[in-house]
Structure 1
Amino acid sequence: MKKTVLITGASSGFGKESAKLFHQKGWNVIATMRSPEKETELTALEDVLVVKLDVQDQESIQQAVIAGVERFGTIHALVNSAGYGAMGVFEAATREQIQNQYEVNVFGTMMVTQAVLPVMRKNGKGSIVNISTFGGAVGMPFATLYSSSKFAVEGFSEALSHEVSELNIQVKIVEPGSVKTNFRNGQQFIHSDIEEYNTIMGNIYTKFGASTAHLVQATPGEVADVIYEAATDESTRLRYIIGADAQFYIDTKWKNTEDQFVRTIRSFFFG
């Protein structure tokens, strides 16, 4: 029997690349997105079901899982790829911006996972791949909402991995670095009129890029390869780092003392 994967955020970025790769590998694919009526590439593929799923809408989550199981019989793997980043001065963030960041990145991931787990329990096997970022391990200035939401995803994933291990269900975390997708286009920028932050913000993105400009970034296809590996290798490995820049920042944190780490990160952005 062909295996089946459900992927959130499959309209673009890592989600779409993963949907195409799983299909190429002979899987049935439940490609979920908020606006399936706009999708043309995936709908043309055999054994790919394009269906509506909004991670902020519990009913749409349940209906997508039901539709996928009705079409393909079961779900063997889940890739939680839907997400976005709210960037800017934390002090200026609205309550709505804070809540929405967590509704999508954290609670959405949790709700989709909760909806798929009963299917995996029935199978007696399954794999769940949650897409994080190196920013889920290393907090970055002016990425407070996004980074903290990914820290939450990582904590959730790690704890859940132990909880479901005796059910033969594996939970994996993929931590990409900066990759050329439309993620930047999907960012939400927090407007701030607080003058004290203007100079600090200055050239923050230029400085961020400069610190790892000498390192090779992963491509979306390479990230999809790692997602597929995480979903299928049947190992107890928890985290998969992809991209030399991601490895650089994570190594900066874990291979130095905390004092060295803090001073190094601040020197990158404010030095």
Structure 2
Amino acid sequence: MAKTVLITGSSSGFGKEAAKLFQKNGWNVIATMRSPEKETELNTLENVLVTKLDVQNIDSIHSGIKAGIEKFDKIDVVVNNAGYGTFGVFENATDEQIRRQFEVNVFGLMNVTKAILPNFRENKNGLFINLSSMGGKITLPMMSLYHATKFAVEGFTESLFHELYSLNIHVKLIEPGGVDTNFGKTSMDYISNTIKDYEPFLENANSYIQKFLAERKVATVEDVAQTIFNAATDNKEQLRYVIGDDAQKLIDHLQPQNDQEYVSYMKNLWGTKNQL
């Protein structure tokens, strides 16, 4: 019998590519998104249910899960993919921007997880694959809100890894580095700077970030989708899956150093060491 995967945020990017890959490999796919009426590709594929699920709406989460179970009888894997980033100086962020970043990336993921857990417990089996980022392990300037949410996802997932193990429910983390997507255009909320004191920092840090982005070797959407699929099928008790040379390089710098050494390394990398 074919297994079934539910994927949040399937309208584009990692979610959509993963949905196509699972379907290609014979899985039933519940491809969820906020506006399923706009989807024109996934709904043409066999054994794919395109349905509404907004991670900010509890009723929507339960109805999306219900529709998937009614269609395919059970859910074996949940890919918590829905999310976005906020970029800019924290002091300029509005309360709405701060709260929405957490509502989607953290509370939305938690809400989906909590809603499916009774089904997994009943089946005595299940797997959550949570999309984190290298930004859940290391930080870049001007992404404090995004990093805060991904650090939260990391801690939440690692704790659940132990909490659910005895129930035969497993949890994994996907940690992509830079990926060649439209993330910066379609999945990023930009904070406008209105404080002159930050202008020297912004000019300096932006130049270093652009240099860093230009020099790094980034992964592709297909690389991330393949890693998600591998995590779902490799039967390994592996918690973290790092994707991309840039992510591995920065995370590797973190591991052997004490905290202050790593902070100093990152200061030098972003050119912020001598700002004051």
- TM-score normalised according to structure 1 size: 0.97
SS in 1 for 2:29: strand
Question: Between the two proteins, what is the percent identity of the paired residues?
Answer: 51
Q: Which residue of 1 aligns with 2:237?
A: 236
Q: Distance in 2 between matches of 1:267 and 1:211?
A: 12
Q: Which residue of 1 aligns with 2:212?
A: 211
1:209 is displaced (CA, Å) by 4.2
C-alpha change, 1:205 and 1:174, in structure 2 (3 Å) is farther
Whether the aligned pair in 1 keeps the contact of 2:133 and 2:150 (CA below 8 Å) is yes
Q: Which residue of 2 aligns with 1:29?
A: 29
1:120 is displaced (CA, Å) by 1.2
Q: What amino acid does structure 2 have at the position aligned with 1:238?
A: L
SS in 1 for 2:241: strand
SS in 2 for 1:157: helix
Does structure 1 residue 221 correspond to structure 2 residue 222?
yes
Does structure 1 residue 55 correspond to structure 2 residue 55?
yes
Trace 1:160-175 onto structure 2 (pairs within 5 A).
Answer: 160-175=160-175
Trace 1:78-227 onto structure 2 (pairs within 5 A).
Answer: 78-185=78-185, 186-211=187-212, 213-227=214-228
Whether the aligned pair in 1 keeps the contact of 2:55 and 2:111 (CA below 8 Å) is yes
- TM-score normalised according to structure 2 size: 0.95
Q: Distance in 2 between matches of 1:151 and 1:205?
A: 23
Q: Which residue of 1 aligns with 2:268?
A: 267
Whether the aligned pair in 1 keeps the contact of 2:204 and 2:271 (CA below 8 Å) is no
Q: What amino acid does structure 2 have at the position aligned with 1:237?
A: Q
* Unaligned stretches of 5+ residues in structure 1: none
Whether the aligned pair in 2 keeps the contact of 1:12 and 1:182 (CA below 8 Å) is no
Q: Which residue of 2 aligns with 1:39?
A: 39
Whether the aligned pair in 1 keeps the contact of 2:5 and 2:28 (CA below 8 Å) is yes
Whether the aligned pair in 2 keeps the contact of 1:101 and 1:149 (CA below 8 Å) is yes
* Unaligned stretches of 5+ residues in structure 2: none
1:54 is displaced (CA, Å) by 0.6
Q: Deviations over 1:171-201 (max 9, x none)?
A: 0000000101121112001112111111111
Q: Distance in 2 between matches of 1:5 and 1:248?
A: 31
Q: What amino acid does structure 2 have at the position aligned with 1:98?
A: I
Q: Deviations over 1:40-90 (max 9, x none)?
A: 110000100000111101100000000000000000000011000011010
Q: Distance in 1 between matches of 2:122 and 2:224?
A: 30
Q: Which residue of 1 aligns with 2:258?
A: 257
Whether the aligned pair in 2 keeps the contact of 1:212 and 1:245 (CA below 8 Å) is no
Q: Distance in 2 between matches of 1:70 and 1:253?
A: 46
1:119 is displaced (CA, Å) by 1.3
SS in 2 for 1:202: helix
Whether the aligned pair in 2 keeps the contact of 1:18 and 1:227 (CA below 8 Å) is yes
Q: Distance in 2 between matches of 1:254 and 1:209?
A: 25
Does structure 1 residue 69 correspond to structure 2 residue 73?
no
Q: Distance in 2 between matches of 1:179 and 1:253?
A: 21
Q: How many residues align?
A: 271
Q: What amino acid does structure 2 have at the position aligned with 1:61?
A: I
Q: Distance in 1 between matches of 2:156 and 2:140?
A: 20
1:214 is displaced (CA, Å) by 4.2
Q: What amino acid does structure 2 have at the position aligned with 1:255?
A: P
SS in 2 for 1:106: helix
C-alpha change, 1:210 and 1:158, in structure 2 (3 Å) is same
Q: Distance in 2 between matches of 1:236 and 1:213?
A: 35
Whether the aligned pair in 2 keeps the contact of 1:21 and 1:225 (CA below 8 Å) is yes
